[in-house]
Amino acid sequence: MSSRPVVALEHGAVPWLLAVALATAGPHAGHLPPWLSLLVVSALLWRAWLWQQHRRLPSRWSLALLVAGSIAGIGWQFQALIGKEVGVALLVVFMALKPLEMNSRRDAMVVIMLGYFLLLTHYFYSQSIPTGLWLLAAIALLTGTLIRLHGGQQPVATIGRQAGRLLLQALPFMLILYLLFPRVAGPLWGLPQDAYGARSGLSEQMSPGSISSLIQSGAIAMRIRFAGELPEKSDLYWRGPVFDHYDGLTWRAPAAPASLPRRAPVIEASGRSYAYTSIIEAHDQRWLLALDVPTKLPPESTLAPTLEALSREPLRVRGRFSFVSAVDFRANIIEAPATLQGALALPPQINPRSRALAGEWRHLPAEKIVAAALAMFRQERFYYTLRPPLLGADAMDEFLFTTRRGFCEHYASAFVFLMRAADVPARVVAGYQGGEVNPVDGYLTVRQSDAHAWAEVWLAGQGWLRVDPTAAVAPSRIEQGIAAALPEDEPLPIVVRLDADWLLQLRNRWEAANNTWNQWVLGYNPQRQREVLSRLGLANSDWQNMTASLAILCAAVLLAITLWTLRRRRAADPVQRVWQEYCAQIGQRGIKRAEWEGPLDFSRRVARERPDLAELTRQAASLYADLHYGRGGGEQALRRLKQCVRQLPPRRR
Amino acid sequence: MRTLAAVQRWLFRLGPDEDLPIVLTQRRIFILPTRGGVLYASVLAVMLIGAINYNLSLGHALVFLLAGLGLVAMVETFHNLFGLRLHPGRPEAVFAGDLARFPLQIENARRQGRRALEFSFEHQPAVTVDVPAEGQAVVAVPCAAQRRGRLDPGRVTLASRYPLGLFRAWSYPQPVFSCVVYPRPMRTPLPPLSSARHADNRHGDGGQEDFAGLRPRQASDPTRHVAWKAVARRSDEQPLLVKQFAGGAAEELWLDWSLTPADRGLEDRLSILAGWIVAAEELQVRYGLSLPGRRLAPAQGPKHRADCLHVLALYRDNDP
């Protein structure tokens, strides 16, 4: 086969290949440097112009220069030549420049293969439903291009139909392979640094504005399905990081958790417990955002001394976790002295007025101190707003005595500051509060806009108790959600504040569809595969079993498709069929054609016996004779023969 | 080498196809991935590794869909040839050095068209043809005619890469084809008309004007001169009889072997004769052909020209 001559690329196939280049490289424009997108567009336009003008392609060396220049530019831009982003950029450049040296069908095949690679790279950035649909359209285009390359000039509609037919037949294989191909828990080798993009979510520290900026996002943080009833809305505290250390501006988690005594927390749960499964979006951190407080954890996770559930590895991809939680609990009634000591630490000197206020309370019992602080928030003129004024060095003083406008993070940190200043061990807890049930699929949806911060105080004999100062300022935040607690003009994401009913329904449907997609398409991992297969009756599905059933099913589908397409249609020759129909029609008008009678003889006999039919019959007979015995005449002659049948005058009765 | 040929003969069922029409059944169609198909498979393998490594669910879906597409393409490529019926036609005679064209009528009984069918003889250029649904097409498969005589082009390679070019299905139908190849005409001046005088002496036994009796038919005699009535009266063993005519026009040209230069080889001398026949026909004169052991009476017209060239084509064909 190696001696086979190079097949030149047809002129008419070039637009297809340019469309392939545009469809596969184009959507990357969003995450490429602008000069690269500009290069792609101008290279493709150049190629299109050359095509339109029937001009020769540029010489090899000028292209080599262009490629070398682009690679150098990419290396300079990304300061690397290895990595995911760089790989994508290089593929895009090749895709843009390859059409400029595309002379043979083999070159065109290379463009198609590049296109397949580029399609794959899009999933680094998005794997949503629209991306999936776009995948199908792009594959149809690539398939159509292959058909155009190997099937010659055809109408676009014919190519489209044929591509659709092929894809439809390929679909069962995709489903079988998707279900049964033994899944390997990735990565096969170390991933480059930039394998995962930046994720939004709670961070390891909290400074003024960090949560209120998170609240601007309507993105979903997690979805929860409860096995039974839902807890009260005011009990829905999803615990994230716990902040112990305050430097006057920023709250942080204990810097070196290992130095603290790593004792398992002691929890006394009472009342009913709730079983649920959370689907948590990737946030690149270890906390699992369990409902306060989890009594049963998913495998490969632990409960930190500060009560938050932690996975072993940061959540790089969306994950599914099952918990049991209790909302009535007491935790760590006996707490390590070092922990309590840490929960009283404050930076020296700052915020003198706050310290003075707390000093007035110090003689009271701890419960009374908590009540006094909450009463202050409730009774003084504090405002709950996403747009608090900026605070200076003595942030707590300014907030408590001057501005009095703030968000949950302000209230939580001011409260904890007061408690510590009054010698009550306290800490800040960040997480999410509330959530909204999607009536379409029954999942409780928690968004970034539900991000929240609250406080915990440790009281002797009672352990750690949750105190939410925001609830004192804006009770509707806890009872009804963020949208109800904030006035209309606050900058909330639009998905949170949908007024029209139909819009809300549309959003719910769309999010439910996304959830199904996430779980069944994107979340189909080795564990999920085992679950599904055991539900299908393949109880012990090791990879040998899976491969065997995969092979059998694929063979069965292949056989079915083969049989279906090869099914013999015993259709007689169409020419013969039409002629026989014509003769039968004449027969009904009184002249039967004998078996041995040739078409021309028959037409002469008809001419003698029925002169009125002579002309038509002569025409039909000569058409038939030409089609069947002679030089043919193709579709047009056949159509005319059919017309002859139709033109026969109605029978006389 | 001989074993390889034997294996090929067995594997590909090589051998002349006597039964008509030639139907392409499963056993006659072979299929292998093309270079593009191998590239496709390796690209898919790399993509699968990438999808696993980066945990891309849609990447898995993409690879699996493309894998299914590859399998479907295999069936479709096979399907593009399956069930075709081939009716070999009669090729027209050509001069040596020209392209002989062997007509094949392709019949497609299926309700789907067949696309991009490539026909070729071994080491010969290919022609591509589409066959409409439930229709027919005629393709003339070219084969370079190198030397005069009967040209047997051997097996046809019927191949298709449609639809995606990932697989190539092929079949080796071998219709019993034979094309008469005339000697390559060599243009030299026609023999002088005086040679017509020379032929005049003898033309009495070969003319066509007046009936002069019957003689046994030679292969070169046109069938319209066969005395069918006389033949019908005789038994089958005896050769056919042809009518003989006497007389004829005076303006006749005898293209005689002995007029060609004796120092040239057989092929060259036949080529010179062929050139004369072509020239004489163009001049619209009556001409006869005389070769050692063969004579064709003077006549004129495309039929006569073909008869004469045919004699030259097969002259002493069996000799080494």
| Chain B residues 260-289 within an 8 A CB cutoff of chain A | none
One domain for residues A139 and A216: no
Domain assignment of residue A320, yes or no: yes
Res A338: pLDDT: 83
One domain for residues A345 and A228: yes
At A46, phi and psi to the nearest 5? -60, -50
**Would residue A573 show up in a list of annotated catalytic residues for this protein?**
no
Whether A100 contacts A57, CB under 8 Å: yes
Q: Comparing A324 with A319, which gets the higher pLDDT?
A: A324
One domain for residues A234 and A141: no
Residue A335 in this model has a pLDDT that exceeds 90 = no
One domain for residues A343 and A230: yes
Find chain A residues with C-beta within 8 A of B75's C-beta.
169, 558, 561-562, 565
One domain for residues A447 and A585: no
The 8 Å CB, 24+ separation contacts for A153-159 are A153/A10, A153/A12, A154/B115
Angle B306-B307-B312 from CA coordinates, rounded to 5°: 95
One domain for residues A413 and A328: yes
Query: Residue A118's pLDDT band (boundaries 50, 70, 90)?
Result: very high
Last residue of a domain, one of A109, A137, A153: A153
Q: Which residues contact A65 (CB under 8 A, 6 or more apart)?
A: none
Res B69: pLDDT: 94
- Alpha carbon of A8 to those of A294, A345, B119: distances in Å? 68, 79, 18
Res B198: pLDDT: 43
In this structure, of A87-101, A214-228, A561-575, B42-56, the range with the lowest mean pLDDT score is A561-575
Residue A572 in this model has a pLDDT that exceeds 70 = no
Q: Do A523 and B57 touch (CB under 8 A)?
A: yes
Find chain B residues with C-beta within 8 A of A137's C-beta.
none
Angle A372-A387-A206 from CA coordinates, rounded to 5°: 65
Residue A54 in this model has a pLDDT that exceeds 70 = yes
Q: Do B54 and A317 touch (CB under 8 A)?
A: no
Task: Report the percent of chain A where pLDDT is more than 70.
Answer: 92
B87 at the A interface (CB within 8 A)?
A: no
Res A1: pLDDT: 40
pLDDT tens, residue by residue, A409-453 = 889 989 999 999 999 999 999 999 988 888 888 899 999 888 999
- Alpha carbon of A642 to those of A574, A577, A638: distances in Å? 10, 10, 6
Average pLDDT over residues A69-89: 84
Domain assignment of residue A102, yes or no: yes
**Would residue A644 show up in a list of annotated catalytic residues for this protein?**
no
- For residue A214, the one-letter residue type is L
**Would residue A452 show up in a list of annotated catalytic residues for this protein?**
yes
Looking at A292, A450, A452, A583, which residue is catalytic?
Answer: A452
Domain assignment of residue A249, yes or no: yes
Domain assignment of residue A45, yes or no: yes
pLDDT tens, residue by residue, A375-400 = 998 888 888 888 888 887 888 888 88
A585 class by beta-carbon count within 10 Å (0-12 exposed, 13-18 middle, 19+ buried): middle
Looking at A408, A410, A450, A644, which residue is catalytic?
Answer: A408
Cross-chain CB nearest to B136 (options A173, A521, A632)? A632
One domain for residues A147 and A210: no
B64 at the A interface (CB within 8 A)?
A: yes
Domain assignment of residue A266, yes or no: yes
Res B20: pLDDT: 73
Q: How far apart are CA A649 and CA A589, in angstroms?
A: 10
Average pLDDT over residues A587-616: 83
Res B168: pLDDT: 94
Last residue of a domain, one of A497, A515, A542: A497
pLDDT tens, residue by residue, A447-466 = 988 899 999 999 888 889 99
Looking at A394, A450, A468, A583, which residue is catalytic?
Answer: A468
- Alpha carbon of B288 to those of B202, B220, B270, B296: distances in Å? 11, 12, 15, 5
Domain assignment of residue A241, yes or no: yes
Radius of gyration of chain A (CA): 37
Last residue of a domain, one of A83, A118, A153: A153
Q: Do B75 and A561 touch (CB under 8 A)?
A: yes
Domain assignment of residue A100, yes or no: yes
One domain for residues A147 and A261: no
As a whole number, the mean pLDDT across chain A is 84
Q: Which residues contact B112 (CB under 8 A, 6 or more apart)?
A: B133
Whether A407 contacts A383, CB under 8 Å: no
Q: What is the mean pLDDT of each run of 10 residues along chain B (320 residues)?
A: 76 72 84 93 93 87 94 91 88 89 88 88 89 88 89 89 92 88 86 51 46 60 68 61 53 81 85 88 85 85 90 70
| Length of chain A measured in residues | 653
Beta bridge partners of B216: B241
Q: Into how many domains does chain A fold?
A: 3
Residue A373 in this model has a pLDDT that exceeds 80 = yes
Average pLDDT over residues A87-102: 90
Query: Residue A300's pLDDT band (boundaries 50, 70, 90)?
Result: confident
Query: Collapsing DSSP states into helix, strand and coil, what is residue A73?
Result: helix
Query: Residue A83's pLDDT band (boundaries 50, 70, 90)?
Result: confident
Cross-chain CB nearest to B50 (options A120, A152, A573)? A120
Average pLDDT over residues A284-305: 88
Domain assignment of residue A521, yes or no: no
**What is the interface pTM, i.e. ipTM, of the complex?**
0.76
Domain assignment of residue A100, given as a range: 11-153
Find chain B residues with C-beta within 8 A of A573's C-beta.
107, 109, 134
Give the distance from residue B261's alpha carbon to the nearest chain A alpha carbon, in angstroms. 44
The 8 Å CB, 24+ separation contacts for A396-402 are A396/A350, A396/A351, A396/A354, A397/A351, A397/A352, A397/A353, A397/A354, A400/A353, A400/A354, A400/A357, A401/A353
One domain for residues A476 and A623: no
Q: Do A177 and B68 touch (CB under 8 A)?
A: yes
Res A146: pLDDT: 93
One domain for residues A578 and A450: no
Q: Do B135 and A574 touch (CB under 8 A)?
A: yes
Res B230: pLDDT: 67
Average pLDDT over residues A512-523: 84
DSSP A207-234: -TTHHHHHTT---EEEEEEESSPPPPGG
Q: Do B66 and A571 touch (CB under 8 A)?
A: no
Task: Report the percent of chain A where pLDDT is more than 90.
Answer: 19
Find chain A residues with C-beta within 8 A of B50's C-beta.
120
One domain for residues A137 and A253: no
pLDDT tens, residue by residue, A119-172 = 999 888 888 889 889 888 999 999 999 999 998 888 899 899 999 999 999 999
One domain for residues A46 and A132: yes
